[in-house]
Structure 1
Amino acid sequence: MAESIKGLHHITAVSGPPQENFNFYRNKLGLRFIKKTINFDDPFTYHLYYGNHHAEPGSAITFFPWQHVVDGQPNKGEATAVQYAVPGGSLEYWQKRFKKKGIETGEIYTRFGFEHLPLTDNDGMKIEIVADADVNDKETVGYGGVDDKHAIRGFFGTTLSLPDIGRTGELLTEMGWKSEGNEHGLSRYSSEPDSRLGRYVDLKAEPNLNGRFGRGSIHHIAFRVPDDKAQAEWSEKIRKMGFQVTPVKNRDYFRSIYFREAGGVLFEIATDIPGFDVDEPFEQLGESLKLPSWYEKHRDEIEARLPKLKTD
């Protein structure tokens, strides 16, 4: 029997130009830039990774920066918000920082007992900074001038907008997640990852939401499993549930399987192994362009065609 899936692994979205993306996520949100690689299916597009200082699963947000993509609008069948966990009492710090940086925020509100500070990133993607006392003792480093004490620890969770939440809730329950009830039109499900990161998924029924995929849209969300054995067990279980599951895909830093859940959201199940330091020292994460082995012979052409990205 497959063990429960505990927490989110990463979230992948589409952005505009890579330099603007870097300036927001590294220099304004204060995340660590942990990997500069390429879209394995589109080698002349970057795949950029940001996370906490330790580059942990449950903290990594990744982007495909497509420079000429149309602006996205939230749509049903998509994840429509990224929630970040900061220590309790940190929201005033973030309000002041965002004001100083010229970033507009909404009013702080409470949901399921947690205070949320809403904003959008430079591409219009919804973000919520959530004060979570459970990460108070989780150490990290703030980048871009962010105080370590108040820095983002990783994901709090995500919100899925769906035509109907019933079958998605059933799937999360099968995955070992627990219903936390309903509030403000949302149904929350929780997990218990050891890292305390990425442990909430909120479901919102929005059958009349008709947007379009593009810049600022979330492409997929990934759940974490420890290794290949656990992933194989879940692949078989999900297939028996009637979902079409992809073969395992090697993403160099994790192995992945994908399927589209009943509400339309693309789900991934990713392994914690081998990790982001498999091809460069931990201290040098994100400093050089990393390519999968089969693209190394094309490095000169790829580097020449990729946009310039200043990361120092």
Structure 2
Amino acid sequence: MERKSLIGTHHVSSLTANAKENYRFYTEVLGMRLVKKTVNQDDTSVYHLFYADERGNPGTDLTFFEIPHAGKTYYGNNAITLTSLRVPNDQALNFWQERFEQFQVKFEPITEVNKRKTLKFWDFEGQRLMLISDEHNQGVAGGKAWDKSPVPVEYAIYGLGPVTLTVPKKETTAAVLKEVLGFKLVGEIAPFVEGQANIQVFETGEGGTGAEIYLEERTDLPRERPGRGSVHHVAFRVENQEELEKWANFISGVRLPNSGTVERYYFRSLYFREPNGILFELATDGPGFEGDESFETLGENLALPPYFEDKRKEIEAKLVPLNTKQ
């Protein structure tokens, strides 16, 4: 059966050691909306927090697993090393520079990456992030900024941009992107580090900011040791469950070890690692986050998929209370 192209980036999931401070930074400083406060479904003793646009539209979610005793990340290879967040235009970056100064956020000067204005910065745990302007974007649409955010809508983060994969041997990862996931190599950009190879740009679906991957080859780095502030995986958008089943059959057919389809309640998923060890997920666009909470109260209470409800008391007893009432 013919599979449809992947639509773009679905979400990026990272690690934090401090859910309370993580919530403060991503809602009060970055102005994203917490659209779901739930638990890691593979380890219900820790939080899984979803920050996004106004309702967690696909392609807007930056999520965090809380690992309270997570150690320091030792940056390196075989990892997702930069997550970018979309803002509407170039002027927004000037706003963000001033905001980062106000909140004492570490950042670098505005620069240009792939003909788009960008602003690199780090969160309180060293998470590597970059704002990217959509001023000239012609690809997959972004989400819709939340009008109750502390950041004005005209400057707000409203989606995920290109994700950077850093590997010691790009050919094997490039082969998976092209031959398995159907991405197209559309160009190269200057390296982030002087003296290194050009970075390859891949895109899927309609292309544009929300559907790109940057592939960086670095032969000078040790393997990254993940911890707080590191990225766990990147997920790509699949239209629906029927399409996900087609992808599952195809990936198994090319003999890539994978999880098979997994029920996550808010979407369905499939996981596999590419040859350099980076974890990829395919995730359906729906059902979304409003099956167990109203739009108005998203993220305010601990949400559990129905198959965990009978364990709610036991789960809540293991979690440090986190007040997320708006």
The superposition leaves residues 201-227 of structure 1 with CA deviations (integer Å, 9 ceiling, x where unpaired) of 100012332230111111110011011
Change (3 A) 1:4 1:259: same
Moved more, 131-140 or 265-274: 131-140
Shift in alpha-carbon separation, 1:119–1:29, aligned structure 2, 3 A:
same
Matching residue of 2:244:
231
* Structure 1 contact 157–199 (Cα < 8 Å) conserved: yes
State the Cα distance separating 1:144 from its structure 2 match: 4.7
Q: 1:142 to 1:180 in 2, by over 3 A?
A: farther
**For structure 1, which segment, 283-292 or 147-156, has the greater mean C-alpha deviation from structure 2 after superposition?**
283-292
Q: In the aligned structure 2, how far is the partner of 1:197 from the partner of 1:33?
A: 23
Q: Is the 8 A contact 1:84 1:130 kept in 2?
A: yes
5+ residue gaps, structure 1, are: none
Look up the match of 1:157: 162
**Residue 218 (structure 1) aligned with residue 231 (structure 2):** yes
Query: Using the alignment, how far apart are the partners of 2:306 and 2:239 within structure 1?
Result: 24
Report % sequence identity. Answer: 34
What TM-score results when the alignment is normalised by the length of structure 2?
Answer: 0.90
Mapped partners of 2:233, 2:280: distance in 1: 6
Change (3 A) 1:275 1:114: same
Aligned mates of 1:223, 1:270 — CA distance in 2: 6
CA contact (8 A) 1:31 1:142 kept: no
Superposed displacement of residue 145, structure 1? 1.4
Provide the C-alpha distance between the structure 1 equivalents of 2:232 and 2:125, rounded to a whole number of angstroms: 14
User: In the alignment, residue 94 of structure 1 is paired with which amino acid?
Assistant: W
Partner secondary structure for residue 26 of structure 1: helix
- Report SS of the residue matched to 1:212: coil
Cα deviation, residue 171, structure 1: 2.2
Return the alpha-carbon distance in structure 2 between the equivalents of residues 27 and 291 of structure 1: 25
Determine the structure 2 residue equivalent to 1:128: 130
Partner Cα separation in structure 2 for residue 221 and residue 138 of structure 1: 18
Using the alignment, how far apart are the partners of 2:55 and 2:38 within structure 1? 18
Helix, strand or coil at the partner of 2:302: coil
Please say if 1:276 is aligned against 2:289: yes
Match for residue 219 of structure 2 among 207, 224, 233? 207
Tell me the CA shift for residue 142 of structure 1: 5.4
Per-residue CA distance 1:147-205 (angstroms, 9 max, x = gap): 110001100121001121112222222323222211223111122359x6631110001
Corresponding residue of 2:4: 3
1:207 partner amino acid: T
Quickly say closer, same or farther: Cα 1:226–1:95, change in 2 above 3 A. same
Distance in 2 (CA, whole Å) between partners of 1:240 and 1:46 is: 35
Contact 1:140 1:148 in 2 (8 A): yes
**Aligned residues of 2:301 and 2:324 also touching (Cα < 8 A):** no
On the 8 A contact 1:91/1:129 being kept in 2, the answer is yes
3-state SS of 2:4 partner: coil
Pairing 1:30-45 to 2, within 5 Å after superposition: 30-45=31-46
Alpha-carbon spacing, 1:298–1:138, altered in 2? closer, same or farther (3 Å): closer
Task: List per-residue Cα deviations over 1:252-306 (Å, max 9, x = no partner).
Answer: 1011111001221100001112111111112221111111333322222322321
- The residue type equivalent to 2:187 in the other structure is G
Q: Give the SS at the match of 2:251.
A: helix
Q: 1:298 and 2:311 equivalent?
A: yes
Q: CA RMSD in A?
A: 1.9
SS of structure 1 residue aligned to 2:29 = coil
